[in-house]
Amino acid sequence: MSIKKQSFGKTKEGAEATLFTLKNKNGMSVSFTDFGANIVTVIVPDKNGSFDDVVLGYDDVTGYESNSPGFGSFIGRHANRIGGASFELNGRKYELEKNDGQNNLHSGFKGYNKFIYEAEIFEDEDSDSVEFSRLSPHMEQGFPGNLDISVTYTLTDDNELVVEYLAVSDKDTIVNLTNHSYFNLAGHKSGSILEQMVMLDADKFTPTDDALIPTGEIVDVTGTPMDFRKLKQLGQEIRANYGPLEQAGGYDHNYVLNTNGSEVEKIGELADEKSGRLMEIFTNMPGIQLYTGNFLNGVTGKDGFTYQKHAGVCFETQYFPDSCNKPEFPSCVLKAGSEYNFVTVFKFSAK
Protein backbone atom coordinates (compact mmCIF):
# COMPACT_ATOMS: atom_id res chain seq x y z
CA MET A 1 0.00 0.00 0.00
CA SER A 2 1.12 3.57 -0.54
CA ILE A 3 -0.14 7.08 0.17
CA LYS A 4 0.84 10.15 -1.83
CA LYS A 5 0.06 13.81 -1.08
CA GLN A 6 0.13 16.60 -3.65
CA SER A 7 -1.29 20.06 -4.23
CA PHE A 8 -4.83 20.18 -5.63
CA GLY A 9 -4.78 23.95 -6.24
CA LYS A 10 -5.95 26.96 -4.26
CA THR A 11 -9.49 27.98 -3.42
CA LYS A 12 -10.88 31.42 -4.30
CA GLU A 13 -10.02 32.44 -0.72
CA GLY A 14 -6.42 31.33 -1.23
CA ALA A 15 -6.57 28.16 0.88
CA GLU A 16 -4.31 25.36 -0.31
CA ALA A 17 -6.16 22.13 -1.13
CA THR A 18 -4.42 18.77 -0.93
CA LEU A 19 -5.03 15.59 -2.91
CA PHE A 20 -4.43 12.28 -1.12
CA THR A 21 -3.92 9.21 -3.30
CA LEU A 22 -4.01 5.66 -1.92
CA LYS A 23 -2.80 2.69 -3.98
CA ASN A 24 -3.04 -1.00 -3.11
CA LYS A 25 -0.99 -4.05 -4.13
CA ASN A 26 -3.34 -4.74 -7.09
CA GLY A 27 -2.74 -1.32 -8.65
CA MET A 28 -6.17 0.04 -7.69
CA SER A 29 -5.97 3.64 -6.53
CA VAL A 30 -8.37 6.15 -5.03
CA SER A 31 -7.89 9.85 -4.36
CA PHE A 32 -9.62 12.35 -2.10
CA THR A 33 -9.24 16.03 -1.35
CA ASP A 34 -9.37 17.80 2.00
CA PHE A 35 -11.56 20.38 0.27
CA GLY A 36 -15.00 18.95 0.98
CA ALA A 37 -13.69 15.46 1.80
CA ASN A 38 -14.66 14.67 -1.79
CA ILE A 39 -13.79 11.47 -3.67
CA VAL A 40 -11.86 12.56 -6.78
CA THR A 41 -10.77 9.36 -8.53
CA VAL A 42 -11.39 5.62 -8.30
CA ILE A 43 -9.05 3.84 -10.71
CA VAL A 44 -9.67 0.11 -11.19
CA PRO A 45 -8.76 -2.55 -13.78
CA ASP A 46 -11.12 -4.09 -16.33
CA LYS A 47 -11.20 -7.78 -17.32
CA ASN A 48 -8.12 -7.26 -19.52
CA GLY A 49 -6.14 -5.50 -16.80
CA SER A 50 -6.56 -2.01 -18.28
CA PHE A 51 -7.06 0.69 -15.66
CA ASP A 52 -9.60 3.50 -15.86
CA ASP A 53 -11.11 6.12 -13.59
CA VAL A 54 -14.73 5.10 -12.88
CA VAL A 55 -16.04 8.23 -11.11
CA LEU A 56 -17.03 11.59 -12.57
CA GLY A 57 -15.27 14.68 -11.26
CA TYR A 58 -12.90 17.60 -11.83
CA ASP A 59 -9.16 18.05 -12.36
CA ASP A 60 -8.57 20.48 -9.49
CA VAL A 61 -10.15 22.25 -6.53
CA THR A 62 -11.68 24.98 -8.71
CA GLY A 63 -14.21 22.54 -10.13
CA TYR A 64 -15.17 21.28 -6.69
CA GLU A 65 -15.78 24.83 -5.43
CA SER A 66 -18.80 25.10 -7.73
CA ASN A 67 -19.67 21.40 -8.34
CA SER A 68 -23.42 21.79 -8.72
CA PRO A 69 -23.86 18.08 -9.59
CA GLY A 70 -22.11 17.06 -6.36
CA PHE A 71 -19.42 14.89 -7.97
CA GLY A 72 -17.74 12.74 -5.33
CA SER A 73 -19.30 14.82 -2.60
CA PHE A 74 -19.45 14.23 1.13
CA ILE A 75 -23.03 15.34 1.84
CA GLY A 76 -24.28 16.70 5.18
CA ARG A 77 -25.57 17.66 7.65
CA HIS A 78 -28.65 16.16 6.00
CA ALA A 79 -28.44 14.46 2.61
CA ASN A 80 -31.31 14.55 0.13
CA ARG A 81 -34.51 16.58 0.40
CA ILE A 82 -36.36 18.12 3.34
CA GLY A 83 -39.89 19.21 2.44
CA GLY A 84 -40.71 22.87 3.01
CA ALA A 85 -37.07 23.43 4.02
CA SER A 86 -38.01 23.06 7.69
CA PHE A 87 -38.46 20.51 10.46
CA GLU A 88 -39.55 20.38 14.09
CA LEU A 89 -37.44 18.94 16.88
CA ASN A 90 -38.29 18.96 20.59
CA GLY A 91 -41.14 21.41 19.94
CA ARG A 92 -39.02 23.94 18.03
CA LYS A 93 -39.24 24.65 14.31
CA TYR A 94 -35.99 25.00 12.37
CA GLU A 95 -35.95 26.86 9.04
CA LEU A 96 -33.42 25.87 6.39
CA GLU A 97 -32.31 27.34 3.07
CA LYS A 98 -34.69 26.83 0.17
CA ASN A 99 -32.25 25.76 -2.53
CA ASP A 100 -34.52 23.33 -4.41
CA GLY A 101 -37.75 25.16 -5.11
CA GLN A 102 -39.50 25.45 -1.75
CA ASN A 103 -37.43 22.61 -0.33
CA ASN A 104 -33.97 22.01 1.07
CA LEU A 105 -31.60 19.74 -0.88
CA HIS A 106 -28.36 18.35 0.61
CA SER A 107 -28.53 20.95 3.44
CA GLY A 108 -28.38 24.15 1.40
CA PHE A 109 -26.10 26.18 -0.81
CA LYS A 110 -22.96 25.34 1.19
CA GLY A 111 -22.92 21.67 2.07
CA TYR A 112 -20.22 19.66 3.77
CA ASN A 113 -18.55 19.23 0.37
CA LYS A 114 -17.46 22.91 0.42
CA PHE A 115 -15.43 23.08 3.66
CA ILE A 116 -11.74 22.42 4.32
CA TYR A 117 -11.16 19.40 6.59
CA GLU A 118 -8.36 18.33 8.87
CA ALA A 119 -6.75 15.20 7.47
CA GLU A 120 -5.06 12.31 9.23
CA ILE A 121 -3.42 9.31 7.56
CA PHE A 122 -3.48 5.74 8.90
CA GLU A 123 -1.40 2.92 7.41
CA ASP A 124 -1.96 -0.79 8.05
CA GLU A 125 -0.49 -3.91 6.50
CA ASP A 126 -3.40 -4.55 4.12
CA SER A 127 -5.18 -1.17 4.06
CA ASP A 128 -4.57 2.57 4.17
CA SER A 129 -6.97 5.28 5.34
CA VAL A 130 -7.47 9.01 5.27
CA GLU A 131 -9.73 10.53 7.93
CA PHE A 132 -11.26 13.96 7.27
CA SER A 133 -12.76 15.76 10.27
CA ARG A 134 -14.16 19.10 11.38
CA LEU A 135 -16.58 20.68 13.83
CA SER A 136 -19.87 21.78 12.31
CA PRO A 137 -20.96 24.55 14.69
CA HIS A 138 -24.41 24.96 16.24
CA MET A 139 -26.90 26.36 13.68
CA GLU A 140 -24.56 25.94 10.71
CA GLN A 141 -26.92 25.50 7.72
CA GLY A 142 -29.75 25.97 10.24
CA PHE A 143 -29.23 22.72 12.17
CA PRO A 144 -28.94 22.64 15.98
CA GLY A 145 -25.95 21.27 17.86
CA ASN A 146 -22.17 21.44 17.61
CA LEU A 147 -21.48 18.33 15.55
CA ASP A 148 -18.08 16.64 15.59
CA ILE A 149 -17.92 14.83 12.27
CA SER A 150 -15.47 12.60 10.47
CA VAL A 151 -15.52 10.60 7.28
CA THR A 152 -12.81 7.99 6.86
CA TYR A 153 -11.95 6.53 3.47
CA THR A 154 -10.09 3.22 3.50
CA LEU A 155 -8.64 1.31 0.56
CA THR A 156 -8.01 -2.39 1.19
CA ASP A 157 -5.99 -4.97 -0.72
CA ASP A 158 -9.33 -6.64 -1.52
CA ASN A 159 -10.16 -3.66 -3.79
CA GLU A 160 -12.67 -2.28 -1.29
CA LEU A 161 -13.30 1.42 -0.81
CA VAL A 162 -14.70 1.66 2.73
CA VAL A 163 -16.49 4.85 3.77
CA GLU A 164 -17.13 5.27 7.52
CA TYR A 165 -19.16 8.15 8.91
CA LEU A 166 -18.87 9.19 12.57
CA ALA A 167 -20.65 12.08 14.30
CA VAL A 168 -21.46 13.23 17.83
CA SER A 169 -23.55 16.29 18.77
CA ASP A 170 -23.84 18.24 22.02
CA LYS A 171 -27.57 18.84 21.35
CA ASP A 172 -30.34 16.77 19.83
CA THR A 173 -30.15 17.24 16.06
CA ILE A 174 -30.77 15.47 12.77
CA VAL A 175 -27.95 13.82 10.82
CA ASN A 176 -28.01 12.02 7.48
CA LEU A 177 -24.57 11.70 5.86
CA THR A 178 -23.81 10.16 2.46
CA ASN A 179 -21.49 10.23 -0.52
CA HIS A 180 -22.67 11.48 -3.91
CA SER A 181 -20.13 9.87 -6.26
CA TYR A 182 -21.26 9.29 -9.84
CA PHE A 183 -20.04 5.89 -11.03
CA ASN A 184 -19.48 4.79 -14.61
CA LEU A 185 -17.77 1.40 -14.73
CA ALA A 186 -16.89 1.81 -18.41
CA GLY A 187 -14.78 4.84 -17.43
CA HIS A 188 -15.73 8.41 -16.61
CA LYS A 189 -15.29 9.49 -20.26
CA SER A 190 -17.38 6.68 -21.77
CA GLY A 191 -20.77 8.41 -21.97
CA SER A 192 -24.11 6.91 -20.92
CA ILE A 193 -24.47 4.38 -18.10
CA LEU A 194 -27.88 3.16 -19.32
CA GLU A 195 -26.47 -0.16 -20.61
CA GLN A 196 -24.89 -0.95 -17.24
CA MET A 197 -26.71 -3.35 -14.94
CA VAL A 198 -27.95 -2.70 -11.40
CA MET A 199 -29.19 -4.92 -8.61
CA LEU A 200 -30.69 -3.55 -5.39
CA ASP A 201 -31.86 -5.76 -2.51
CA ALA A 202 -35.02 -3.75 -1.92
CA ASP A 203 -38.63 -4.89 -2.10
CA LYS A 204 -40.02 -1.38 -1.67
CA PHE A 205 -39.38 2.28 -2.50
CA THR A 206 -40.73 5.63 -1.33
CA PRO A 207 -42.75 7.45 -4.04
CA THR A 208 -42.68 11.25 -4.14
CA ASP A 209 -44.72 14.26 -5.16
CA ASP A 210 -43.76 16.36 -8.18
CA ALA A 211 -41.11 18.19 -6.11
CA LEU A 212 -39.53 14.80 -5.31
CA ILE A 213 -40.52 14.93 -1.64
CA PRO A 214 -41.66 11.50 -0.35
CA THR A 215 -45.40 11.23 0.17
CA GLY A 216 -44.88 8.96 3.20
CA GLU A 217 -46.06 5.88 1.33
CA ILE A 218 -43.91 2.78 1.01
CA VAL A 219 -44.71 0.93 -2.22
CA ASP A 220 -43.85 -2.59 -3.38
CA VAL A 221 -41.62 -2.63 -6.49
CA THR A 222 -43.20 -5.83 -7.82
CA GLY A 223 -44.51 -5.40 -11.35
CA THR A 224 -43.09 -1.87 -11.70
CA PRO A 225 -40.04 -0.39 -13.48
CA MET A 226 -38.60 0.26 -10.01
CA ASP A 227 -37.80 -3.43 -9.49
CA PHE A 228 -34.03 -4.05 -9.44
CA ARG A 229 -34.03 -7.18 -7.30
CA LYS A 230 -32.34 -8.99 -10.20
CA LEU A 231 -29.60 -7.44 -12.35
CA LYS A 232 -31.26 -5.21 -14.95
CA GLN A 233 -30.00 -2.60 -17.39
CA LEU A 234 -30.58 0.92 -16.04
CA GLY A 235 -32.02 1.94 -19.40
CA GLN A 236 -34.36 -1.02 -19.78
CA GLU A 237 -37.39 0.74 -18.30
CA ILE A 238 -36.12 4.24 -17.54
CA ARG A 239 -38.44 5.80 -20.13
CA ALA A 240 -41.48 3.76 -19.13
CA ASN A 241 -44.88 5.41 -18.87
CA TYR A 242 -44.71 5.36 -15.07
CA GLY A 243 -45.41 8.35 -12.84
CA PRO A 244 -42.36 8.26 -10.55
CA LEU A 245 -39.96 7.98 -13.49
CA GLU A 246 -41.71 10.78 -15.39
CA GLN A 247 -41.57 13.03 -12.32
CA ALA A 248 -37.80 12.63 -11.92
CA GLY A 249 -36.73 12.29 -15.56
CA GLY A 250 -35.29 8.88 -14.70
CA TYR A 251 -34.36 7.19 -11.46
CA ASP A 252 -34.00 9.53 -8.48
CA HIS A 253 -35.66 7.49 -5.80
CA ASN A 254 -35.08 6.12 -2.32
CA TYR A 255 -35.19 2.37 -1.96
CA VAL A 256 -36.12 0.67 1.31
CA LEU A 257 -33.31 -1.82 1.80
CA ASN A 258 -33.91 -5.36 3.04
CA THR A 259 -31.42 -4.92 5.88
CA ASN A 260 -31.59 -5.22 9.65
CA GLY A 261 -29.45 -2.12 10.26
CA SER A 262 -27.07 -3.76 12.71
CA GLU A 263 -24.56 -5.29 10.29
CA VAL A 264 -22.91 -4.09 7.10
CA GLU A 265 -24.60 -6.22 4.42
CA LYS A 266 -24.40 -6.51 0.65
CA ILE A 267 -27.32 -4.58 -0.80
CA GLY A 268 -26.49 -3.99 -4.43
CA GLU A 269 -24.36 -4.32 -7.53
CA LEU A 270 -23.37 -2.28 -10.56
CA ALA A 271 -22.03 -4.28 -13.51
CA ASP A 272 -20.63 -3.34 -16.92
CA GLU A 273 -20.56 -6.24 -19.37
CA LYS A 274 -18.16 -4.60 -21.84
CA SER A 275 -15.35 -3.91 -19.37
CA GLY A 276 -16.25 -6.82 -17.09
CA ARG A 277 -16.11 -4.49 -14.08
CA LEU A 278 -18.34 -5.20 -11.10
CA MET A 279 -18.98 -2.97 -8.09
CA GLU A 280 -20.64 -4.54 -5.05
CA ILE A 281 -22.28 -2.24 -2.48
CA PHE A 282 -22.50 -2.94 1.24
CA THR A 283 -24.03 -0.80 4.00
CA ASN A 284 -25.87 -0.74 7.33
CA MET A 285 -28.04 2.24 6.35
CA PRO A 286 -31.81 1.69 5.90
CA GLY A 287 -32.13 3.31 2.46
CA ILE A 288 -30.31 4.10 -0.76
CA GLN A 289 -31.00 6.79 -3.36
CA LEU A 290 -30.58 5.49 -6.90
CA TYR A 291 -29.87 8.51 -9.11
CA THR A 292 -29.12 8.25 -12.82
CA GLY A 293 -27.64 11.71 -13.43
CA ASN A 294 -30.90 13.07 -14.85
CA PHE A 295 -29.88 16.70 -14.33
CA LEU A 296 -26.43 16.49 -15.89
CA ASN A 297 -26.34 18.79 -18.89
CA GLY A 298 -23.00 19.54 -20.51
CA VAL A 299 -20.82 19.70 -17.38
CA THR A 300 -17.10 19.89 -18.20
CA GLY A 301 -15.11 17.62 -15.91
CA LYS A 302 -11.84 15.69 -15.71
CA ASP A 303 -9.60 15.68 -18.79
CA GLY A 304 -11.89 18.31 -20.35
CA PHE A 305 -14.59 15.70 -20.95
CA THR A 306 -18.19 16.93 -21.06
CA TYR A 307 -20.66 14.91 -18.97
CA GLN A 308 -24.18 14.68 -20.37
CA LYS A 309 -27.43 13.29 -18.96
CA HIS A 310 -27.02 9.75 -17.59
CA ALA A 311 -23.20 9.90 -17.67
CA GLY A 312 -23.02 8.42 -14.17
CA VAL A 313 -25.11 6.71 -11.51
CA CYS A 314 -25.16 7.46 -7.77
CA PHE A 315 -25.80 5.06 -4.90
CA GLU A 316 -26.43 7.32 -1.90
CA THR A 317 -26.82 5.22 1.24
CA GLN A 318 -28.98 7.17 3.67
CA TYR A 319 -31.93 7.65 5.94
CA PHE A 320 -35.04 8.17 3.81
CA PRO A 321 -35.51 11.69 2.37
CA ASP A 322 -37.63 13.99 4.57
CA SER A 323 -37.59 11.44 7.37
CA CYS A 324 -37.39 14.33 9.85
CA ASN A 325 -40.95 15.21 8.78
CA LYS A 326 -42.20 11.63 8.34
CA PRO A 327 -42.57 9.85 11.70
CA GLU A 328 -43.43 6.63 9.84
CA PHE A 329 -39.89 6.54 8.39
CA PRO A 330 -36.74 5.43 10.31
CA SER A 331 -35.67 8.46 12.34
CA CYS A 332 -32.57 10.52 11.50
CA VAL A 333 -32.67 12.22 14.92
CA LEU A 334 -29.33 12.00 16.72
CA LYS A 335 -29.63 12.44 20.47
CA ALA A 336 -27.07 14.59 22.29
CA GLY A 337 -24.01 12.52 23.19
CA SER A 338 -25.04 9.54 21.06
CA GLU A 339 -22.81 8.34 18.24
CA TYR A 340 -23.80 8.34 14.58
CA ASN A 341 -21.80 5.50 13.00
CA PHE A 342 -22.55 4.10 9.56
CA VAL A 343 -20.44 2.33 6.94
CA THR A 344 -20.72 1.93 3.18
CA VAL A 345 -18.38 -0.24 1.13
CA PHE A 346 -17.81 -0.25 -2.63
CA LYS A 347 -15.96 -3.43 -3.66
CA PHE A 348 -14.50 -3.69 -7.17
CA SER A 349 -13.65 -6.71 -9.30
CA ALA A 350 -13.55 -7.69 -12.97
CA LYS A 351 -14.21 -10.89 -14.89
Q: How far apart are CA 189 and CA 197, in angstroms?
A: 18
Radius of gyration of the chain (CA): 19
One-character DSSP codes across 216-274: S--EE-TTSTT--SS-EETTSSTTSS-HHHHHHTS-EEEEEES--SSS-EEEEEEE-TT
The CA-CA-CA angle for residues 172, 149, 161, to 5°, reads 130
Q: Is 55 helix (H, G, I), strand (E, B) or coil?
A: strand
Sign of CA pseudo-dihedral 135, 66, 348, 290: positive
Q: Is 310 among the residues known to form the active site? A: no
Q: What are 78's strand-pairing partners?
A: 176
Give CB contacts under 8 A, 24+ apart, made by 241-244: 243/207, 244/205, 244/207, 244/208
Q: Which of 131, 140, 280, 316 is catalytic?
A: 316
Q: Which of 180, 188, 253, 310 is catalytic?
A: 180
Query: What is each CA distance from 44 to 40, 72, 271, 349, 351, in whole angstroms?
Result: 13, 16, 13, 8, 12
Q: Is 140 among the residues known to form the active site? A: no
Q: Are 343 and 284 in contact (CB under 8 A)?
A: yes
Q: How far apart are CA 139 and CA 146, in angstroms?
A: 8
Looking at the annotation, which residues are catalytic? Answer: 180, 316
